[in-house]
Structure 1
Amino acid sequence: MSSTMGWHEAAANDSAISPLEHFEHLLFARGYLLSRVLKPAPAAHWRHHAVGRWFLTRDSRLAATFRELDGRSLLLVGNAIDLRSQVDGAPVVDGLLRAWRVSRAALDEALEWLAGRYVILAQSPEEDFFQTDATGMLSASYSAAERMVSSHQNLLAEAAGGLDYSTFGEPDWLRKRNAYAFPGTFTRFAGVHMLTANTELDVREFRIRRVGPLPAEPGEPREIAGQVLDLMRQQHPFLTRRGGGPLVSLTAGLDSRITMAAMRELAPQSLFFTYEKVYDRKSGSDYDRSIATQLAAHLGLRHHGYGLTTASRSPELDAVLERSTFLTHGRIVAASYLHELPADRLHVRSNLYEIARAYYRGKERPVVDPRLFARILTSSSAPPRAVVEAFDEMAAATGIFDVGDYDPLDLFYWEHRIVSWFHKVLLESDIAHDTHTLVNSRVILRLLLSVPLTDRRAGTVFDHIIGLAWREAYDLPVNGSLRSVGQ
């Protein structure tokens, strides 16, 4: 019987990376580049690997596994947890290869059960394809002309020797259009596109294929809450790093309350933290810090609250971040993680829950089409024609309107809004810590989307999760109002 062959390299600790005077060691932090021709590494601690017909160049702070079996190979970069077999690292890849040996459908089913932040490159005589995790938390931009895929569009552009701007690449386009991201799959650079969630990239022809989500069986909120909570808890053994238990951001909102409750068993090893933008009293972060401090005292959590007294930051660090990603979200916050929070630990964030809360169904939207997507992106009733056309192209490539059992607006939030917005946050905070979210799995998101619309809009499943996991988490207001646990 054949056995798998290959290699595995664990993620290097942040403290093991030699700091450089002008923060160059943080350039393209936790990034990767896949190319058909070997490209120079951005820093000395990056690693090169030949992986079948490709070369991988990666920050050593990203784990990587390459396995071969019966003429097929799989490369996994990042962290993935198999929720069925309760393993991470190399055993995950071995399990995926065994599933692929049975059939491509068996591999697709196995991928549904992965949680984490990762990308996968699969190669075989029949097909070569690339996928991200459930929401592209380890992001991917690709160029067919350059035959490259990368975590950072800026890294891809540099590796290509410089690229022209796309139709939407002028420096102020996002600000002028009040847009959270570029339209469709466009990026700043011509010929470079974002890989959306629930799709894969055929890296022979550089074409898109939809791979999910699988059909969702209608569910009852309390039952779904129990199933999701179990899957969240199964991730607990994999959240500790060399420096200790997870770092958990805590605010006055619902999402961080859900994460906190689901991690109750890990609370003694965890450090919860809240920042306050002292320099910006309109941000509401003082309320976040006040509620989080009270909540931590009430529940006996270790909590670190700190204030950001200025919006300024190191010019040298800012230059590194600008070269890594011109997209900005909260650079002063990301920079604060370097000196306020301990290194060599995993940051557990509370994003992604809104995918299951019918974010765009708060108002009547009788026609869902590319023009509506363009209106949402630009906050305009008359979006530019080029923006509508970009979403037309995205719809044609991804088949977002052809997925049975799912509202296209839910998929739009999942596949475009989250993927294109959240990676902006992570490409900045990666300078300090790797990130995990407890619901970043296709099977979990599918379960959360299986309950009726009225329950999704009300967040009923999440109320049940609190009731099952830690009822006292609702003793203090959530965003200013008291909530009741599900009955």
Structure 2
Amino acid sequence: MPRLTPYPRGFVLSRHAPPERSVPGNFHSLEVAGGWHFSFDPLRTPSVCVDEVTGRFILTHGTCFPVGEESVVDVSAWLLQKLLESEDTFLDGLDLLAGRHVVVAGDATQASVYQDAAGARSVYYSPGAGLVSSHAHLIHDLVPHEPTLTTLRPTGAANTWDLSPWAGIRALVPNHRLVLGTWEVERFFPRQPNRYAGWSTRRKLSAIEAMWQRELDAFTTAFEDVVVSVTGGSDSRVVLAMARRHLQVVYGFTYTPGKNVRSRRSKRLAQDERIVGELRDLLPLDHRFFSRDDTGVTSSPELSHLMSRNSILEHGRWLIPHYNRAFPGDDVMHMRGNAFEIGRAFRDPRPHNDTIEDIRVHYAQRAGVIATDSGTPALNVEQHAYFDGAVQRLGYHDDLYGYHRLDLFHWEFRVGRWLSEVLNETDISFDTFLPVSVRAIFELLLSFDVADRRDGFAYTELIDRNFPLLNFFGKNDDRNLYQQVRDERRSDIRRKERVNAWLERGLRLSGLPGTPGEEPVSQPAPGPNHLFLPTDRFIEGYSATRVIGHAPVDGSLQFRFRSTYAFKRSLGRFEYRLMVSGQTLLRTDGAAWPYDTWVTVHNLRAEDTIEVQVVALRTMSKESWSRATHAGILDLSYTPMAPKGAPRAVSSNPYAETSPWTNHVAATRDETASDSAAMSVTGTMN
């Protein structure tokens, strides 16, 4: 049933009991080791074990299952025994914990707080208020805080290390512990070189499988209702393959966009629906689709209010009423295929980019603002100061024992923040566990070399070893394995027939005739495939151009044009043009179409020049307009071919138009006196 109470599965930890009027009325409370006060939603009762001799204690709250070879009845007692033995033994125990939980370890005078491997259980803390909690809003309820500077938040507080919407309230990130009293954050992983680096592939995969199966055995035994979200992607496929023995007792669901398939996300969901529709015939799974068009499910003001307080981001709130109707049990557990990217080479780690400055570049890509002079993201003063403090606070300057900083950065900066807030949002319907979220499993996945991680080798192998037929269906691809191999073979044949095309270096900037900017000015492009109009050139009639070079033979050109900006109210500010030997073949408003466009130019002669331009239709002074023009010219290919007439272009962009000066099919060049005046233009190709 829906948890229509504030902060489901939440908690508050403090030295002294917070005012009763501020803590949610459904919360229960207990004293721990004579020194700590723990308030909690009773749906998850904490487990506490205290050593009578030393006064040391362990508190676990949430779902928490060890997946090592030891048989464990009481997790808190098991962890306490390890803590009494040594800190390293205790930390090794934490590396084997599955689930979504918080662990508090210490005594009456000092304690440390840990979270699960992926940081799926959000943990926030306020040194000024002396509070630790599962939810940022809950701390702010107890002790109001000033908002975080807006200059720090372009990337979103749920995506940025330890930022929260309030100054003075910070988030704990994976692989770190919070020391209560001093309020310092200490990195505890990695603490040695990767323990599995020297293992064979077979041994690594067998170890992952063993831990994963113990985890699934524990969760399907502890929870009567286990549901799994099924998509068309690779991560979901791994979850299904590894859960093969348990699928008969698991419920599945897939959400779909319904009839409204316009945005990039809705198209992706529609693809999921098609792929899952084929997959589910093979799965012994009680499965259903949730459609956004379903008018039988509605939200309520009370539900909307609770969702807005449970999470600091909004991800998929329209799904909550669907979940509540489909899975009305008192304590449903959702098995979700997230956090796999921690084991991938998501940030392209290489030997030369394992530095603090490389982390800064990735941070700036999310948090920075495009600089007009360079076309690359830049940080403001406050962001620079925050970044420097965060990398120092979180130990990125320390010896990381061979682990790549970009791997840890993605784990801690992005996954450990965004994902926890998504799960806070769905807590109203059910709890969630991520089967891959065991630190030992992450360590095993990170022990594969970068090339294998980039290709998802370990994940594909896990599918092949446990449910090989699932590898046959495409992953985020409507084609099955046979069709992909067939098409790749055909592509190889076509590639052999093609001659390369390329983008000439630099951006050509031109002004209005008769002005000082009339003569083209060359400027380095911000990227090898990049086109954009700088802010100081966003003047009516001014343009920026990339020239496409090609082999000196007659032929046909194909390329992919990527522009992600679209806003109906912004039409008429700038446009993109395709030029051949000085004449416009295609043009489209820059705010009309935010998807990839395939363009083909037929009947080219060896001497033709080809240009792609962005042109200002009005003078706009704000830097955001320059950002809107950023586009990419990708996948260039040139096929030698005898021309059959004048140049013509076709495009998959439904808003692309012919130039107003020619609406007819021109004669071939051989039939006219002027090549440039006779060029033909087609309309769009859907």
- What's the TM-score once normalised by structure 2's chain length? 0.63
* Amino acid paired to 1:338: N
CA deviation after TM superposition for structure 1 residue 482, in Å: 4.4
Structure 1 counterpart of 2:30 = 49
Structure 1 counterpart of 2:366 = 377
Contact 1:142 1:149 in 2 (8 A): yes
1:159 and 2:148 matched: no
CA deviation after TM superposition for structure 1 residue 325, in Å: 2.7
Structure 2 counterpart of 1:109 = 92
SS of the equivalent of 1:163 reads: coil
SS of the equivalent of 2:308 reads: helix
Structure 2 counterpart of 1:63 = 45
The verdict on how the C-alpha distance between 1:55 and 1:374 changes in structure 2, with shifts beyond 3 A counting, is same
Structure 2 counterpart of 1:231 = 211
Contact 1:213 1:446 in 2 (8 A): no
Q: Distance in 1 between matches of 2:273 and 2:394?
A: 41
Structure 1 counterpart of 2:440 = 443
Q: Distance in 2 between matches of 1:242 and 1:103?
A: 30
The verdict on how the C-alpha distance between 1:440 and 1:242 changes in structure 2, with shifts beyond 3 A counting, is closer
Identity %: 26
Structure 2 counterpart of 1:466 = 463
CA RMSD of aligned residues (A): 2.5
Contact 1:213 1:442 in 2 (8 A): no
> Does 436-445 or 209-218 show the bigger shift?
209-218
Q: Give structure 1 stretches of 5+ with no counterpart.
A: 1-14
* Amino acid paired to 1:104: E
Structure 1 counterpart of 2:509 = none
Larger radius of gyration: 2
SS of the equivalent of 2:100 reads: strand
What are the equivalent positions in structure 2 for 1:386-401 lying under 5 Å apart?
A: 386-401=382-397
* Amino acid paired to 2:391: A
Q: Alignment partner for residue 76 of structure 1, among 60, 64, 70? A: 60
CA deviation after TM superposition for structure 1 residue 362, in Å: 8.0
* Amino acid paired to 1:316: E
1:92 and 2:75 matched: yes
Q: Alignment partner for residue 264 of structure 1, among 237, 244, 248? A: 244
- Specify which structure has the bigger relative contact order, considering alpha-carbon pairs within 8 angstroms and separated by 6 or more residues: 1
Q: Distance in 1 between matches of 2:6 and 2:294?
A: 24
Q: Distance in 1 between matches of 2:333 and 2:221?
A: 7
Contact 1:226 1:465 in 2 (8 A): no
CA deviation after TM superposition for structure 1 residue 246, in Å: 1.5
Contact 2:238 2:462 in 1 (8 A): yes
Q: Distance in 1 between matches of 2:43 and 2:30?
A: 15
1:51-88 deviation per Cα after TM superposition (whole angstroms, max 9, x unaligned): 13111111111231011013211111111111125656
The verdict on how the C-alpha distance between 1:84 and 1:128 changes in structure 2, with shifts beyond 3 A counting, is same
CA deviation after TM superposition for structure 1 residue 126, in Å: 7.7
Structure 2 counterpart of 1:27 = 6
1:113-138 deviation per Cα after TM superposition (whole angstroms, max 9, x unaligned): 11111101112378421111112111
CA deviation after TM superposition for structure 1 residue 396, in Å: 0.6
Q: Alignment partner for residue 136 of structure 1, among 104, 119, 128? A: 119
What are the equivalent positions in structure 2 for 1:33-432 lying under 5 Å apart?
A: 33-39=12-18, 40=20, 42-52=23-33, 53-69=35-51, 70=53, 71-85=55-69, 91-124=74-107, 127-160=110-143, 162-168=144-150, 174=153, 177-179=154-156, 181=158, 183-214=160-191, 215-216=193-194, 217-218=196-197, 219-240=199-220, 244-278=224-258, 280-281=260-261, 282=263, 283=266, 284-309=268-293, 313-343=299-329, 344-361=331-348, 366=353, 368-369=356-357, 370-378=359-367, 380=369, 381-402=377-398, 403-432=400-429
Structure 1 counterpart of 2:671 = none
Q: Give structure 2 stretches of 5+ with no counterpart.
A: 370-376, 483-686
1:271-330 deviation per Cα after TM superposition (whole angstroms, max 9, x unaligned): 111011226413121221221122111233221112121797323211121233342111
SS of the equivalent of 1:74 reads: strand
Q: Distance in 2 between matches of 1:438 and 1:87?
A: 19
The verdict on how the C-alpha distance between 1:106 and 1:468 changes in structure 2, with shifts beyond 3 A counting, is same
The verdict on how the C-alpha distance between 1:180 and 1:186 changes in structure 2, with shifts beyond 3 A counting, is closer
Q: Distance in 2 between matches of 1:379 and 1:339?
A: 42
Contact 2:9 2:43 in 1 (8 A): yes
Q: Distance in 2 between matches of 1:58 and 1:395?
A: 32
Aligned length: 456
> Does 143-152 or 122-131 show the bigger shift?
122-131
Q: Distance in 1 between matches of 2:30 and 2:214?
A: 32
Contact 2:157 2:164 in 1 (8 A): no
* Amino acid paired to 2:239: T
CA deviation after TM superposition for structure 1 residue 463, in Å: 1.0
Q: Distance in 2 between matches of 1:240 and 1:190?
A: 41
Q: Distance in 2 between matches of 1:245 and 1:86?
A: 26
Structure 1 counterpart of 2:506 = none
Q: Distance in 2 between matches of 1:376 and 1:227?
A: 36
CA deviation after TM superposition for structure 1 residue 241, in Å: 6.6
1:339-358 deviation per Cα after TM superposition (whole angstroms, max 9, x unaligned): 12342321000001011111
Structure 2 counterpart of 1:477 = 474
Q: Distance in 2 between matches of 1:112 and 1:364?
A: 27
Q: Distance in 1 between matches of 2:350 and 2:450?
A: 13
* Amino acid paired to 1:287: Q
Q: Distance in 2 between matches of 1:87 and 1:269?
A: 24
SS of the equivalent of 1:427 reads: helix
The verdict on how the C-alpha distance between 1:364 and 1:275 changes in structure 2, with shifts beyond 3 A counting, is farther
1:389-408 deviation per Cα after TM superposition (whole angstroms, max 9, x unaligned): 22221111111242121111
Q: Distance in 2 between matches of 1:61 and 1:115?
A: 19
CA deviation after TM superposition for structure 1 residue 416, in Å: 1.4
Q: Distance in 2 between matches of 1:225 and 1:388?
A: 41
SS of the equivalent of 2:99 reads: strand
Contact 1:247 1:271 in 2 (8 A): yes
Q: Distance in 1 between matches of 2:108 and 2:309?
A: 38
* Amino acid paired to 1:117: R
Q: Distance in 1 between matches of 2:454 and 2:133?
A: 35
SS of the equivalent of 2:93 reads: helix
CA deviation after TM superposition for structure 1 residue 220, in Å: 4.2
Q: Distance in 1 between matches of 2:224 and 2:275?
A: 25
SS of the equivalent of 2:361 reads: helix
Q: Distance in 2 between matches of 1:371 and 1:390?
A: 11
Q: Distance in 1 between matches of 2:442 and 2:42?
A: 30
The verdict on how the C-alpha distance between 1:288 and 1:342 changes in structure 2, with shifts beyond 3 A counting, is farther
